[in-house]
A and B are shown apart, each in its own frame.
Chain A
Amino acid sequence: MALKGEKKIRVLIAKPGLDGHDRGAKVIARAFRDAGMEVIYTGLRQTPEMIVNAAIQEDVDAIGMSCLSGAHMYLFPRVMELLQERGVDDILVFGGGTIPTDDIPKLKAAGLAAVFTPGTTTTEAIAFVKDHVRRKV
Chain B
Amino acid sequence: MEEREELKRIEEEKARWEAQTLKPALAQTPERAERFTTASMTPIERLYTPVDLPEFDYLRDLGFPGDYPYTRGVQPTMYRGKLWTMRMFAGYGTAVETNRRFKYLLEQGQMGLSTAFDLPTLMGYDSDHPSSAGEVGKCGVAIDSLADMETLFEGIPLGEVTTSMTISSPAAVLWAMYLAVCEKQGVPYDRIGGTIQNDILKEYIAQKEYIYPITPSVRLVTDTILFGARHLQRWNTVSISGYHIREAGATALQELAFTLADGIVYVEEAIKAGLEVDAFAPRLSFFFDCHNDLFEEIAKFRAARRLWARIMRERFDAKDPRSWLLRTHAQTAGCTLTAQQPRNNVIRVAIQALAGVLGGTQSLHTNAMDEALALPTEEAATLALRTQQIIAYESGVTNTVDPVGGSYYVETLTNKLEEGAWAYFRRIDQLGGMIRAIERGFPQREIADAAYAYQQAVERGEKIIVGVNRFTVDEEASIPILTINHEAEMRQIESLNQLRRSRDKDAVARSLEALRRAAVGNDPWGKDLLMPKILDAVRAYATLGEIMDVFRDVWGEYTEPSII
Chain A residues close to B by CB (< 8 Å): 17-23, 26-27, 29-31, 33, 39, 41, 43-45, 47, 68-71, 73-75, 78, 98-102, 117-119, 121-123
Contact = CB atoms under 8 A, between A and B. Distances in A.
B187 interface: no
B131 interface: yes
B478 A29 contact: no
A30 B452 contact: yes
19 contacts: A18-B123, A20-B208, A20-B209, A21-B208, A22-B208, A23-B247, A23-B451, A26-B448, A44-B208, A45-B131, A68-B139, A70-B138, A70-B375, A71-B119, A71-B135, A71-B138, A117-B339, A117-B372, A123-B459
B564 A121 contact: no
Contacts of B248: 21-23
A69 B135 contact: yes
A69 B208 CA distance: 13
Interface string B371-391: 111110000000000000000
A43 B122 CA distance: 18
- Residue among A18, A20, A101 having the largest count of chain B Cβ atoms under 10 Å: A18
A98 B371 CA distance: 8
Contacts of B339: 101, 117-119
Instruction: Tell me the interface secondary structure of chain A in the complex.
Output: loop
A74 B373 contact: no
Nearest to A70: B138
Given A70-B139, A74-B134, A98-B374, A21 B455 contact: no
A69 B120 CA distance: 11
Interface in B531-564: 560, 562-564
Given A18-B122, A21-B247, A30-B564, A121 B207 contact: no
A105 B505 CA distance: 47
A12 B482 CA distance: 31
Contacts of B451: 23, 26-27
B347 interface: no
A78 to B, nearest CB: 8
Interface of B: 118-120, 122-123, 125, 130-135, 138-139, 203, 207-209, 247-249, 335, 337-340, 371-375, 448, 451-452, 455, 458-459, 465, 467-469, 476, 478, 481, 483-484, 486, 560, 562-564
B335 to A, nearest CB: 7
A55 to B, nearest CB: 18
B455 A31 contact: yes
A56 B172 CA distance: 41
B372 A118 contact: yes
B374 A70 contact: yes
A119 to B, nearest CB: 4
A22 B562 CA distance: 12
Given A33-B564, A43-B562, A19 B452 contact: no
Given A27-B249, A30-B448, 5 more contacts: A23-B249, A43-B560, A43-B562, A117-B340, A117-B372
A75 B459 CA distance: 29
B135 A98 contact: no
Contacts of A68: 139
Contacts of A117: 339-340, 372-373
B208 to A, nearest CB: 3
A27 B131 contact: no
Contacts of A70: 135, 138-139, 374-375, 484
A68 B452 CA distance: 19
A127 B375 CA distance: 31
A21 B209 CA distance: 9
A70 B469 CA distance: 26
Nearest to A102: B481
B468 A69 contact: no
Contacts of B484: 70
B335 A23 contact: yes
Nearest to A45: B131
B464 to A, nearest CB: 12
A114 to B, nearest CB: 14
A74 B383 CA distance: 30
A45 B130 CA distance: 12
B480 to A, nearest CB: 10
A118 B247 contact: no
A103 to B, nearest CB: 9
A1 to B, nearest CB: 17
A49 to B, nearest CB: 10
A99 B478 CA distance: 13
A41 B448 CA distance: 14
A70 B141 CA distance: 13
